[in-house]
Amino acid sequence: MSDLQHQFGADLTVGPTGDVATVSGPALGQQRVLRRLLTNAGDYIWQPGYGAGLAQFVGQPADATRIRAVIRSQIFKETAVARTPEPVIDVVSDGAGTVSVQVSYADAETGQTQQLGFSLGDGA
């Protein structure tokens, strides 16, 4: 199955023939996981419970344990994420208001390790 290629916070991508690019496989899974983590619950009116809402942590004192727990509570809701091995979630604060997040998980279809990295904070 494929979907539109759209990285969270970016524009749609143009494909090689000038139309809208599509994505499938592990890249689609990464796109969906990132969208779920960065979307606020309630933003999709047809699925009010969708989204981890990690933006709620911007401007707050860094709480790595809570951020990690929110990610873990949402990540398995995406079918692209294998149940085993457990995802590895690293959350690090730079002490200046930016929190870096690295997520490593196995793709459910291929078993390949997938890496996602993003920042939460004033410069994010």
Beta strands 22-24 and 2-4, pairing class = antiparallel
- pLDDT of 3 > 80? The answer is no
Tens of pLDDT, residues 81-108: 999 999 999 999 887 878 999 999 999 9
Q: Which CATH number fits domain 2-120: 3.30.460.80, 3.40.50.1820, 3.10.450.40, 3.30.70.360?
A: 3.10.450.40
Indicate the SS3 state at residue 61: coil
Q: How many CB atoms lie within 10 A of CB 56?
A: 14
| Residue 29 contacts residue 80 (beta carbons within 8 Å) | yes
Whether residue 42 contacts residue 72, with contact meaning beta carbons closer than 8 Å, is answered with no
pLDDT in tens, 68-84: 999 999 999 999 999 99
Tell me the pTM: 0.80
